[in-house]
Chain A
């Protein structure tokens, strides 16, 4: 999915948080978004994902404004993962269920993605009882299971062991290569950005600086 942002301004009670004249996210690529704490990365992700509609300016998704159809084709993995009080299997199944996908197909997809993430052993555990690292893996799996056209990731690997980080990075790359899905990833880790991204955007004081 191709994204074009023009003249975006976002205020939190008189304080200008985001001021982006022009920004394009290229279709089918992995774009990194880096910047210091408080520079507005999370705010920008929430705006692009349609969660925060309180801004001025213009955002186009594949040359059209946000609508129901586009909204169903994208997803955001939030900085602090939130898993539902149900089994991990059912957590991952959720996006397929709300899209009214057949049970048989659902099972196949959920099992496949759990295998890819090597989290089969978590299948019957309750989502809200998982550790931070486990939650991050499950919440990425839950986002990828329905093959979105736009995947927004807000620091998806912030507190995770190197082994799990490797799995997650390789799954992000695989998703991008296999489905041509567009990825926008916020990260603090420059090395990670270099490993994953085709292009890196620096955000500082709410402005795009490169």
Chain B
């Protein structure tokens, strides 16, 4: 009985927070979106061209690279968080920049987290479908850079789906942002860390509200994927 009451109360409060435009909750949502979007964009800009280049290039250890990429694609986020924490901590190699427990550290961790995903998905896409496009580009006189741009444009739809997939991995992970961000109120608190650390009663409605928001985001993300894959 009491448990049900909690949930009902929580839901009521949650809806109040959302439609009442509670400042703190919108700060949390905004920070989450900002961090995961930044990480996805940074990883995409750097690693989509590299993934395409590797996908269409012939070289010896191609099989080994595939296997390594697929392994890293499912790396646990806490491992990434730990790794970044070691590098950024006071006594770590990048300790002097004092980035630990800041949004910047969280962006770095999530960039690292989605990089194997972007690289691996782009790579396998280019390996399967890039060759033919490369051939046509070559016969028409395109150089390396123009060919990579051409492949990006030709495979645009599949690439968007990959980027969205990476974003949804970033926005829904807890481990990495928790470790390097520290879930500091009004500074590094994001949707998933709030939900996972709803220690006090005060956080309970907020956690439910954020759960709803997260569900809504993943609904949006899946609609995008469905729209593009359904269309083709």
Contacts and interface: CB of A to CB of B under 8 A. Distances in A.
Nearest to A90: B153
A48 to B, nearest CB: 11
B154 A75 contact: no
Contacts of A50: 138
A71 B140 CA distance: 9
Contact of B142 (A49, A77, A98): A98
A82 B138 contact: no
Contact of A51 (B139, B153, B154, B156): B139
Contacts of B9: none
A42 interface: no
A146 B141 contact: yes
B138 A72 contact: no
Contacts of A95: 140-141
B153 A84 contact: yes
B42 to A, nearest CB: 27
Interface in B129-166: 132-133, 135-143, 146, 150, 153-154, 156
B126 to A, nearest CB: 16
A15 interface: no
Contacts of A77: 139
Contacts of A51: 135, 138-139
A166 to B, nearest CB: 25
B146 A82 contact: no
B56 to A, nearest CB: 12
Nearest to A72: B141
Q: Which secondary structure characterizes the binding site on chain A?
A: loop
Given A78-B136, A98-B146, A85 B153 contact: yes
Nearest to B138: A51
Interface in A73-92: 75-78, 82, 84-86
Interface residues of B, number: 16
Interface residues of A, number: 20
A75 B141 contact: yes
A98 to B, nearest CB: 4
A63 interface: no
A117 interface: no
Contacts of A86: 153
A165 to B, nearest CB: 22
Contact of B136 (A72, A82, A85, A99): A82
B139 A84 contact: no
A72 B146 CA distance: 13
A142 interface: yes
A82 B132 contact: yes
A94 B150 CA distance: 10
Contacts of B146: 98
Contact of A75 (B133, B139, B153): B139
Interface in A47-78: 49-51, 71-72, 75-78
Contact of A99 (B141, B150, B153): B141
Interface string A137-150: 00000110010000
A192 B154 CA distance: 34
A98 B139 contact: no
A194 B133 CA distance: 33
A59 B142 CA distance: 22
19 contacts: A50-B138, A51-B135, A71-B141, A75-B140, A76-B139, A77-B139, A78-B136, A78-B139, A84-B136, A84-B150, A84-B153, A85-B153, A85-B156, A95-B140, A95-B141, A98-B137, A98-B142, A98-B146, A143-B139
Given A51-B135, A84-B136, 20 more contacts: A51-B138, A72-B141, A75-B139, A75-B140, A76-B139, A78-B135, A78-B136, A78-B139, A82-B133, A82-B136, A84-B150, A84-B153, A85-B156, A94-B140, A94-B150, A95-B140, A98-B137, A98-B142, A98-B143, A98-B146
